Amino acid sequence: MSVVNDPIGDLITRMRNAQHARRPACRAPWSKIKQDLLELLKREGWVADVAVIGEAPKQDIEVTFHANKPSLELRRVSRPGRRAYASASSIKPVLQGFGMAVVTTSKGLLTDKEARSQKAGGEVLCTVS
């Protein structure tokens, strides 16, 4: 078992690799932040389904992709070596509003639109387009 320094980056890479290999779903080790991130992507319509599999000490999270949509363009913005923080006014729309940025705020994980409307800044985790 290897130690992962960036669990969110690992999840994004697993999703990117699974879509590149044309797999309908992918699995990753479970954590609360990953589950919140994937539930946000599901709520916004970027992924088809999210399921937690297994018992409490050893759980996995499975992401199912949309069969008829093109693969997601996922990009990690804030990394462990270089954190990226943004105020509510400095969060720019991704692809002129067609994409989405995920921001961790004091109000939880929000999309860039929600963060701007609630005037909440925070760490920009990733962009999806």
pLDDT in tens, 44-102: 999 999 999 999 889 999 999 999 999 999 999 999 999 999 999 999 999 998 999 99
pTM for this entry: 0.94
What CATH architecture is 74-128? 2-Layer Sandwich (3.30)
Whose structure tokens read 């692809």?
95
The pLDDT of residue 3 is 80
Would you say domain 7-64 falls under CATH 3.40.50.10490?
A: no
User: Please, is 67 exposed, middle or buried when counting C-beta atoms within 10 Å of its C-beta (0-12, 13-18, 19+)?
Assistant: exposed
Domain ranges across the chain: 7-64, 74-128
Number of H helices and number of E strands within the chain?
3, 8
Whether the predicted pLDDT of 1 surpasses 70: no
